[in-house]
Amino acid sequence: MTFKTEQEAFWAGDFGTDYIQRNQGDALLASNLDFFGKALRGARGIQSCIEFGANIGMNLKALNLLHPGIDAHAIEINAEAAKQLGTVIPPANVHNSSILDFTPARQWDLTLIKGVLIHINPEVLPQVYDQLVASTSRYLVVAEYYNPAPVAIPYRGHSDRLFKRDFAGEIMDRHPQLQLADYGFAYHRDPNFPQDDITWFLMEKR
């Protein structure tokens, strides 16, 4: 697999594989159930979804419990994560590739990206925004670190690997057919269902 950016190679390699061990377990699943229960409370009729950057499928596990029988697909750049993801959703629905190399052949009721845009090279964000919007027939959930202005911060001793900005605002500016349906914040000190200080946005295609 060849890559266009340093960030892709970073997540496809050992760092991305090590990430698997830090992000799994029953406590995370419980937090994700609470998270998506809130983020999708305004969404109706979700029967299919695709997640961009799904890792081992912890988000999709929660979605399948909230929407039993959902037709779930996913894109994952790390080969080991994609292998484990194939035990959560049908292996044929797992696309082991970079988001930048993915071309949607269909649309899904829900397109999801959570904690992934922050790790993508800002120069290619417009392309990713277009792919997210092209993939959804109705709903788009973006759940990332928010900042009103673009900023890069160190990430586990690495530079140029984590970026904050108003991702959802940029998407809606670029694609005015998307309208904000709901939004919220999940705090890392929540006593019951902590997340990683993520701001989420539910957008609907009109």
Domain borders along the chain are 6-205
Class at the top of the CATH hierarchy for domain 6-205: alpha beta
Question: Could you give the CA distance from residue 196 to residue 74 in angstroms, rounded to a whole number?
Answer: 22
Residue 165 in this model has a pLDDT that exceeds 90:
yes
How much is the pLDDT for 7? 85
Residue 17 in this model has a pLDDT that exceeds 80:
no
Name the average pLDDT for the chain.
93
Return the percentage of the chain with pLDDT > 90, whole number: 82
How much is the pLDDT for 18? 72
User: pTM for this structure?
Assistant: 0.93
How much is the pLDDT for 25? 80
Q: Which of 7-16, 124-133, 196-205 has the lowest mean pLDDT?
A: 7-16
